[in-house]
Amino acid sequence: MAWWDSALERRSIQAGMRVLTQEGARLGRVLLIGREVLYVRPWRFSRREFAVPLSRITRVTGRGVYVTGTPSELHEPVGDRLLHDIPTHIHPLAEPASTGHVHA
C-alpha cells in the first residue's frame, strides 16, 4: 500500500521524528532535512550526525520514518556536507498527479 492510500500515514517528514529500519531497528531522530539526505542524530546529546539518502525512505507514519538497508550501510558520515547544504525542518511529500483519488 502506498503512503497516500492510508489516512494514518503522515504527509511530511519533520525534525525530531524517529528514523527506523524496515525491521524496526532504531537509527535515531531526524535532525534536519537536506536536499538529498536526512541528517540523523543517533541520540539526544550526540555531537555526531550521519546522513541517510532520501531515496532510502520507504514510508512515513506516526511512529517515524522507515528506511531500507542495514544500520551499518545507512550510517553515512556527514563530513562538511551540512555546511554546504540548505537544510529545512519539514520535508513535504508530494502526491503523484495520477493517484486516481478524487479530492473534495
Separation between Cα atoms, residue 18 and residue 45, nearest integer Å: 15
Q: What is the DSSP letter of 5?
A: G
pTM value is 0.70
- Cell digits for 1? 500500500
Q: Which residues pair with 32 in a beta bridge?
A: 39
Domains assigned to the chain: 16-92 (3.10.20)
Q: What is the pLDDT of residues 8-36, one digit of tens each?
A: 555 678 889 999 999 989 999 998 888 88
Q: Return per-residue pLDDT of the chain as tens, 104 residues.
A: 554 555 555 567 888 999 999 998 999 999 888 888 888 998 888 878 888 988 898 888 888 999 998 887 877 777 777 666 777 766 666 544 455 555 54
